[in-house]
């Protein structure tokens, strides 16, 4: 992912415009502020603004007048207690705003999280860039035979090369037709002054879903953790997971104690149903439990065995 010289200048200008404040700031996140963290081939994640820190979560939980009213280890223990017992409102006291550049099909999956404020780049008013997501060869996988929304074996050789050619050809041709219908170049100037172009809001319908869009996405820490617990999971689609992984880096810099609790009690944890827990208890008591007679379906049994690191 390469930014233009103008974009680099804008970022450096934003970073140079320092302002004094009485509110809490986080040096580790300040170091990342405005900088573009590359994702996929042309995408990025940037932190634009934030409010609050680990202390804000503690302050809200205690409804205290100041910060650091308890020892650091007590603050850490409280944060972990809140995360462990799903007391979510103190985490809502922290907010963060991202600038994200992402393929349209990823954006349509991402927007299903309806707990954020979003403002997307409008192709009704502006011309989209000539940039498309083309997967790396190792991400070209066949449809999974056991998971309707997952991937199977990676395509190889001529078959993979043909898929990449089709993706490039379709995206390039569609974008060329998009520009032709607009009768505008990427800077907005008329290509043929004697011809009237199609309205931008109509011409955009021709674009492929691997074209890139951009948005500002603002959310609170509680809802960000929910997003990340789903999208940074190993089962999430690769193209959205890599965005979540870049965002994890920013969260760790921003609220390290909250991040550590999230990592331990969400990312690194599993949830057992009452029936699964009963099976585990029977196993701990020395009973040889099989799927038949466990009360679990074959899929539930397989999931439980995966959680326990056992062969199903």
Kindly list the catalytic residues. 231
Q: Which residues, in sequence order, are CB contacts of 50 under 8 Å at separation 6+?
A: 26, 29, 94, 95, 96, 97, 254
Alpha helices by DSSP H, listed for 65-146, are 72-84, 104-110
What value, to the nearest 5°, has the Cα angle with vertex 160 and ends 159 and 162? 65
56 exposure class (CB count in 10 Å sphere: 0-12, 13-18, 19+): buried
Instruction: Map residue 155 onto helix, strand or coil.
Output: coil
Torsion sign, CA atoms 280, 286, 289, 294: negative
Nearest to 217 by CA among 121, 130, 105: 121
Contact 36, 3 (CB under 8 A): yes
- Give the residue from 68, 51, 46, 50 showing the smallest Cα distance to 59: 68
Containing H/E element for 38? strand 37-39
- CA distances for 41 relative to 131, 132, 168, 226, 231, angstroms: 9, 8, 13, 26, 19
Q: Please name the residue ranges forming H helices in the chain.
A: 5-16, 27-30, 54-62, 72-84, 104-110, 157-182, 200-203, 221-231, 238-254, 256-262, 274-284, 298-308
Give 167-220 as a DSSP string.
HHHHHHHHHHHHHHHHTB-TTS-BS-TTSPPPPHHHHGGGS-TTBEEEEEEEEE
């Amino acid at each position: 992912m390469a930014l233009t010289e103008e974009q680099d200048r804008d970022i450096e200008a934003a970073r140079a415009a320092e302002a004094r404040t009485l509110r809490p700031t986080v040096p580790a996140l300040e170091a990342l502020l405005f900088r573009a963290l590359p994702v996929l081939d042309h995408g990025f994640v940037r932190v634009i603004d934030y409010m609050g820190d680990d202390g804000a979560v503690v302050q809200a939980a205690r409804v205290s007048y100041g910060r650091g009213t308890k020892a650091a280890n007590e603050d850490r223990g409280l944060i972990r207690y809140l995360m462990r017992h799903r007391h979510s409102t103190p985490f809502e006291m922290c907010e963060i705003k991202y600038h994200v550049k992402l393929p349209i099909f990823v954006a349509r999956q991402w927007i299903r999280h309806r707990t954020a404020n979003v403002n997307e780049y409008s192709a009704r008013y502006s011309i989209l860039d000539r940039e498309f997501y083309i997967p790396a060869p190792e991400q070209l996988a066949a449809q999974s035979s056991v998971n309707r929304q997952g991937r199977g074996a990676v395509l190889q050789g001529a078959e993979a090369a043909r898929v990449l050619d089709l993706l490039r050809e379709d995206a390039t041709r569609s974008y060329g037709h998009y520009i032709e219908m607009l009768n505008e170049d990427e800077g907005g100037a008329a290509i043929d002054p004697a011809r009237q172009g199609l309205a931008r809001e109509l011409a955009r319908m021709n674009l492929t879903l691997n074209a890139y869009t951009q948005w500002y996405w603002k959310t609170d820490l509680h809802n960000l953790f929910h997003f990340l617990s789903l999208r940074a999971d190993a089962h999430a689609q690769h193209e959205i997971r890599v965005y979540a992984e870049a965002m994890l880096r920013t969260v760790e810099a921003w609220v390290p104690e909250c991040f550590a609790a999230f990592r331990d009690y969400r990312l690194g944890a599993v949830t057992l149903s009452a029936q699964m827990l009963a099976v585990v208890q029977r196993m701990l008591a020395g009973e040889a439990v099989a799927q038949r007679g466990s009360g679990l379906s074959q899929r539930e049994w397989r999931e439980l065995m995966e959680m326990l690191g056992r062969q199903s």
